[in-house]
């Protein structure tokens, strides 16, 4: 029997998705600030300290909220409760193009580890905490993968990711080498580490960074094709760089050769 609230959901859309959650009377969903899209009349919204999970005393709540700051989230979350007599719906939207993934934590032994900006919303009772990678290498060189979020409980939790999402099942001893920013989530059995790319040419000219993550099975891994950090970096480079050939005779030809001719 679940301890967290039981909710039904519908994921809608293609590239810009939303998740519509159907709540029975007195059921509650929690979400990060800024994820809310719309809610029906019977839904009431309330700002809560922490994630709304059962914490022992004020110190427990302060500790839980403080850990959220390390993942770049705020001290407060928003709870949406159905105060009516029938079913009511509330919807949350992903902040950039990509997909929404639903995780039933009961199926994954009550815990899922995800990228620190991936969590979108969940059933009330799901704990949103912090997961430090324990190995020295991940702390020194892990970048995006060093501090991650952990979702604990037995309810539904929803994460969003950029671009296309692929799910990989790793057998015992089987491993993947992955760009740290491309990791969305993985089950708690997965062994996470950082590996040096190696080779002087790869180091100097590779353009892919000096380190990548290794994910070793058994377990499941969810990967995204377009990390928000990669998208932001590309947009920033186009917004702040002045192309030398612009305005010149060869400007149009240069754009054509770059595949940017219109």
Point out the least confidently predicted range of 67-71, 154-158, 192-196.
67-71
Q: Is the pLDDT of residue 131 over 70?
A: yes
Q: Percent of the chain at pLDDT above 70?
A: 69
At residue 240, the pLDDT reads 64
Q: What pLDDT shows up at residue 140?
A: 46
Residue 71 vs residue 12, higher pLDDT:
12
Q: Is the model's pLDDT at 25 over the cut of 90?
A: yes
Architecture of domain 8-241: 4-Layer Sandwich (3.60)
Over 80: is that where the pLDDT of 49 sits? no
| 142-150: average pLDDT | 65
112 or 14, higher pLDDT: 112
| Mean pLDDT within 167-188 | 93
Domain range annotation of the chain: 8-241
Please count the other Cβ atoms lying within 10 Å of the Cβ belonging to residue 169: 11
pLDDT of residue 68: 55
Per-residue confidence (pLDDT) for residue 217, from 0 to 100: 93
What is the pTM (predicted TM-score) of this model? 0.78
Stretch 37-47: mean pLDDT: 95
Which pLDDT value is given to residue 169?
A: 97
Give 23's pLDDT tier (boundaries 50, 70, 90): very high
pLDDT at 195 over 80: no
Q: Does 14 score more than 80 pLDDT?
A: yes
Of 119, 227, 118, nearest to 182 by C-alpha is 227
């Amino acid at each position: 029997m679940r301890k967290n609230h039981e909710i039904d959901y519908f994921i809608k859309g293609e590239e810009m998705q939303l998740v519509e959650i159907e709540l029975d009377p007195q059921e509650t969903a929690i979400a990060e600030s800024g994820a809310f899209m719309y809610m029906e009349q019977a839904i009431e919204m309330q700002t809560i300290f922490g994630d709304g999970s059962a914490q022992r005393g004020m110190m427990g709540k302060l500790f839980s909220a403080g850990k959220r700051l390390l993942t770049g989230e705020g001290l407060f979350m928003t709870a949406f409760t159905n105060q009516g007599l029938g079913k009511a719906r509330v919807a949350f939207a992903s902040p950039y193009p990509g997909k929404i993934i639903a995780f039933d934590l009961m199926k994954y032994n009550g815990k899922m580890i995800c990228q620190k900006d991936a969590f979108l919303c969940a059933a009330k009772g799901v704990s949103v905490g912090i997961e430090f990678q324990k190995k020295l290498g991940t702390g020194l060189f892990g970048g995006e993968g060093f501090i991650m979020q952990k979702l604990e409980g037995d309810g539904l939790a929803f994460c969003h990711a950029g671009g296309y999402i692929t799910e990989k099942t790793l057998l015992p001893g089987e491993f993947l080498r992955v760009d740290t920013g491309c990791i969305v989530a993985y089950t708690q059995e997965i062994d996470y580490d950082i590996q040096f790319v190696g080779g002087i040419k790869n180091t100097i000219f590779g353009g892919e960074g000096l380190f990548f993550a290794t994910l070793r099975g058994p377990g499941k891994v969810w990967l995204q094709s377009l990390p928000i950090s990669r998208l932001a970096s590309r947009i920033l480079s186009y917004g702040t760089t002045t192309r030398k050939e612009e305005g010149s005779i060869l400007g149009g030809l240069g754009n054509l050769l770059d595949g940017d001719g219109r």
